[in-house]
Amino acid sequence: MTITLTPAATPLAQLRAIWQGDGPICLDPAARARIDASAAIIAAAAKGDAPVYGVNTGFGKLASVRIAPNDTQTLQRNLILSHCCGVGEALEPATTRMMMALKLLSLGRGASGVRWQICALIEGMIARGVTPVIPVQGSVGASGDLAPLAHMAAVMIGEGEAFFAGTRTGGGAALAQAGLTPVVLGPKEGLALINGTQFSTAAALVGLFGAWDAAKAAIVTSAMSTDAIMGSTAPLNPAIHALRGHAGQIDVARAMTALLDGSAIRESHRVGDTRVQDPYCIRCQPQVTGAAVDLLRCAARTLEIEANAVTDNPLVIVETGEILSGGNFHAEPVAFAADQIAIAVAEIGAIAQRRIALMVDPTLSFDLPPFLTPAPGLNSGLMIAEVTSAALMSENKHLANPCSTDSTPTSANQEDHVSMAAHGARRLGRMVANVNMILGIEAMCAGQGIDQRAPLHTAPPLRAALAALRAQVASLGQDRYLAPDLQAAADLIASGALVRAAGVELAL
């Protein structure tokens, strides 16, 4: 089914569908009138005598150099070719597809001065599976994501490389095999294609969606861990969270309460339990995961706005006919959002790791066997799985250090403050993979702990989650080769299967 993009009004849910899908994407036809109007303004400026940046001038530090009208096409082509300086591995196709859709959304606002033909070619590439090869390194996040977007634009003019029908090939060949024709760029069109934040925003959105899935999974695994160590549900009392008032904290406490409702394990120690309070990793789960939820929601609002924004330069104001030079290409909002997401992911993993450590420690786990093995000594159980979770937690802490506070001058000091949004957003994929593994290990430990509490049983939603886990990872008796089990558990987290089994719903 075709996804129709409404410029300035495309919501997060639709953006997620773009990332997860592979069908056609098109602009709302109503956008064409404004696109045509802005293109006409640029065409007139290109023929005029007044200097207009990027239309009849050079770029960056070379903006004072005037370009003759008959050199306009060469100017735009040279811009694309010279800016194809990306290095590193290729961006994954799903994120590239997202980037292309975001560029469509930006151009669709009718403030970039490109012809409809440019938008139509991007639509055709998406529909027919021509995916540009985008090296992931090379952008400092201002003036936009120049190098990555140049590699996209290169394919549009028949250069560069693309994936098509499972093969990496030349951009021109990919277009030809797909029945598409390269475009000859008109005034400002090359600049409009590469001057924007779509690479950083696409990577940040993918990181956001993964982080949100992890946050929901953490609610399930934390409830499982609470029952595994026979933790108290008293700290989930809604009166506590209402007195503080943070929405994420309230939501997490409510979700955990529902997950633990009906647990025979919980009922078994309401009376006579000598423990007065649980450790913070159990007692403060709503406060920590809830704060991460709030942070992710904040980042989501920023990225939703940015996804619908016009971020190239100069911009065409159709109502007045003005062509204004500004700085919307500066990706500072995206860099801030990426840093927020990184902090949330790191903290979700940090508190989950402490719950893992709690469960494998017989002095803290309320009578669970050491390292959750039924025969400790001869067997090491989940001893090193906990160590792996600690390694990943620490790695994420380092990766969570802010990127937005870094800057370096580029382009002969013309671009003297930059956002570093691109690698700030790219790191999120690695961090999400790490936290998914941490949560997978927590699910394994919690499942093992709940099994040890038999014949007492956990609550119905958690029994369903445990059944989903056991369909992929058997209970641990004698020591076995554990690496495939860890990956299977992490995949259960990443796919959302554990969350779906438990029936947790939480709106971003």
- Enumerate the active-site residues: 53
396, amino acid identity: N
Q: What is the distance between the alpha carbons of residues 371 and 441, in angstroms, rounded to a whole number? A: 12
3-state secondary structure of 128: helix
Helix, strand or coil, per DSSP, at residue 111: coil
320 in helix, strand or coil? coil
Which residue carries 């093969």 as its tokens?
Answer: 167
Q: How many CA atoms lie within 13 A of 452 on its CB side?
A: 28
Rounded CA-CA distance 490/499 in Å is 12
Which residue is listed with tokens 């069109």?
189
**Cα distance between residue 103 and residue 97, in whole Å:** 10
Which long-range CB contacts under 8 A does 408-413 form with residues at least 24 apart?
Answer: 408/140, 410/140, 411/60, 411/61, 411/143, 412/60, 412/61, 413/61
User: Residue 380 contacts by C-beta under 8 Å, 6 or more apart in sequence?
Assistant: 371, 373, 479
Q: How far apart are CA 430 and CA 424, in angstroms?
A: 11
Distance CA 458, CA 470 (A): 15
Measured between alpha carbons, how far is 60 from 207 in angstroms, rounded to an integer? Answer: 31
CA distances from 479 to 360, 448, 466, 467 (A): 15, 13, 20, 21
d(CA 250, CA 507): 13
Closest by alpha carbon to 438, among 405, 495, 395, 501? 395
In contact, 373 and 451? CB cutoff 8 Å: no
Of 296, 337, 305, nearest to 212 by C-alpha is 296
Decide if 39 contacts 113 (C-beta within 8 A).
yes
